[in-house]
Structure 1
């Protein structure tokens, strides 16, 4: 089903009617060897140039790597590249997919910032080595699309949630929907501090989402509340300062989240999730946390 939906009155399906998808069993991580804040391309970077403790960042990353291994995921690690300090945020350079018959394909990103465009070929090599069919967007037609920073799969369902307004264009979702034969719920982002969808929406399982509501329009919120039976809301402090919504829940049960999100963590536990807290303070200086720092693959 190829369609892009921007309002509830355009919905012509129920979640139960959509094709099921397997949960990814592999996670890609990029070593933070060259991670630092060297420029400002989002509000969170301001005042943090040269302020990264690289040893602390390495330790934070290692704890996350170990947690994915303990969860039973196959962890594929690649080296970062000199000159690309944000490459550790490997959710941004691509959008992978698996079809009903097991075919793997990936749409490569068109990075919004010149500083990050060179990251894409290195990530593409991972897909080439893993037998993915590579799809490139027309760079003359689309100036920006930042992968799973803005396009997030519904848990175990053939449905994409697509953010637009800062790092990805709305029009790109027509092509993505057609390429993957997948409906897309397009959500406009309206707060520059939440410049990617993964900073304000975390899909926990097929029924539950964690959101920062003020990052969305009324139409977007209506769509979220229509398709999720349980919507957990993060406070401004925990969403903006601790990136609470940049958590990840690879298996629909275990939530990896920045430490200190007291209110959100309480709500997660009340909803039956197991919470695992991690320090990502060094990466917060660059505007990313747990979700940004990985790519789940099939």
Structure 2
């Protein structure tokens, strides 16, 4: 199916689209991964420093672990797109609709056509973002743990004007958050909605108004605050599947214990080669299944 949509639709009006009965993610092997340029603060000082062999071993560790609890689809890597491994930045997916990114930097814009082709072949409906409207997929737009509303960031990569366009894809409520620290250039570096109504976040990445929005949406007992040290080790860049949280390994941190105290099962994996490019676990896997399937709601 090569259907594109340019007007809002709701789930019960959709033609036949992929329906996954198990948690399902898209991943892209790091065959050509490297830091070839600097488009975020984490890349500075790391040009050509990642080891491709180590990166592949770390990616494979994540891939093999996710396969124990989810189905994984694979996207072919492309030689002139070293950041394609961070596939979660390329789209947001829900109810068979894939909202394709419109990357702010020219270096990542070639990825868009490869994702568009993959989603077409897989039968998704495409929601294309206008070229002049910067939007960077799950990097900057995340559904809450129940899939009822979107949190979307602006201020570094994604522009505020994209939010209305994005919300129209699913006729859903969207809450805008303003990122103010360039280190946290994407929402998924400092904010993670989790199952059972929890959220994990680094407050100082947001302006005062945005912090108030988060506090209004989540009661204090559901807010898991991340320290600056943990945030700069991408502690919020996690994959959440039901009670399972998969994250980059943290040293001398009580965050995994705090998550386990809330009933989550935490797996820490070495993903340090990808921190050099500005991503960790969440950036390496794009959710394809609906939230009620992914989190077993």
Shared fold per TM-score greater than 0.5: yes
Aligned match for 1:162, one of 152, 169, 173 = 152
Report whether the alignment pairs 1:232 with 2:230. no
Q: Is the 8 A contact 2:145 2:198 kept in 1?
A: no
C-alpha separation in 1, matches of 2:141 and 2:229: 24
Q: Equivalent residue of 2:73, what SS?
A: strand
Q: Do the aligned partners of 2:155 and 2:179 also contact (CA within 8 Å) in 1?
A: yes
1:97 counterpart residue number: 94
Cα distance in 2, alignment partners of residues 182 and 279 from structure 1:
36
Counterpart in the other structure of 1:136 = 128
* SS of structure 2 residue aligned to 1:184: strand
1:279 aligns with 2:270: yes
Report how many residues are paired: 267
1:50 matched residue in structure 2: 48
Q: Does 1:118 align with 2:110?
A: yes
Q: CA RMSD in A?
A: 1.4
Q: Does 1:222 align with 2:220?
A: no
Aligned to 1:193, what secondary structure does the other structure show?
A: coil
TM-score of the aligned structures, taking structure 2 as reference length: 0.87
Alignment of 1:1-298 (within 5 A): 25-71=23-69, 73-98=70-95, 104-140=96-132, 142=133, 144-229=134-219, 230-240=222-232, 242-251=233-242, 253-260=243-250, 262-298=253-289
Counterparts of 2:156 and 2:209, CA distance in 1: 18
Distance in structure 2 (CA, Å) of the matches to 1:111 and 1:285: 20
Shift of 1:156: 2.2
Q: C-alpha distance in 2, partners of 1:92/1:223?
A: 24
Contact kept, 8 Å, 1:107 with 1:137, in 2: the verdict is yes
1:163 offset after TM fit, Å? 0.6
Deviation at 1:238, TM superposition (A): 1.0
Give the match for residue 16 of structure 1: none
* Alpha-carbon spacing, 1:159–1:295, altered in 2? closer, same or farther (3 Å): same
1:47/1:23 Cα in 2 relative to 1: closer, same or farther (>3 Å)?
farther
Deviations 1:138-168 (A, max 9, x none): 224x1x1001100001112320000110110
1:24 Cα shift?
6.7
> Shift in Å at residue 222 of structure 1?
1.5
Deviation at 1:134, TM superposition (A): 1.0
SS of structure 1 residue aligned to 2:84: coil
Equivalents in 2 of 1:236, 1:135: separation in Å? 35
Instruction: Tell whether the 8 Å contact from 2:153 to 2:177 is kept in structure 1 after alignment.
Output: yes
> How far 1:23 sits from its partner (Å)?
9.0
Q: Is the 8 A contact 1:24 1:250 kept in 2?
A: no
Instruction: For 1:183 and 1:159, locate their aligned partners in 2 and report how far apart those are by CA, in whole Å.
Output: 5
Q: What CA distance in whole angstroms lies between the structure 1 residues aligned with 2:24 and 2:155?
A: 30
Query: In 2, Cα distance between the equivalents of 1:74 and 1:67?
Result: 11
1-structure distance, mates of 2:130, 2:106: 17
CA contact (8 A) 1:26 1:297 kept: yes
1:8-30 per-position Cα deviation (integer Å, ceiling 9, x unaligned): xxxxxxxxxxxxxx997211000
* Matches of 2:126 and 2:168, distance apart in 1: 15
Is contact 1:234–1:263 with CA below 8 Å preserved after alignment? no
**Equivalent residue of 1:249, what SS?**
strand
